Amino acid sequence: MATPDSRVEALKARHEALEHALQSETIRPSPDDLAILSLKKEKLRLKDEITKLTRH
């Protein structure tokens, strides 16, 4: 079973990966607006979960 700290670290790693994907999508020719929106929503969801876990 994962510890809360390891869960937070995994979420932070996923958040960072999404940031890189978002940057790649925004700089390519004809970026996909729906993909960008989806990436941003997932990043926000992860950020909220990280915040929730680190408050306890």
Per-domain residue ranges of the chain? 4-55
Which runs of consecutive H residues, i.e. helices, occur in 1-56? 4-27, 33-55
Distance CA 36, CA 4 (A): 29
The full length of the chain comes to 56
Residue 4 pLDDT:
78
pLDDT at 3 over 90: no
Tell me: the pLDDT tens digits for 15-45? Answer: 999 999 999 999 999 999 999 999 999 999 9
Residue 1 pLDDT:
62
The distance from CA 42 to its chain's CA centroid, rounded to whole angstroms, is 5
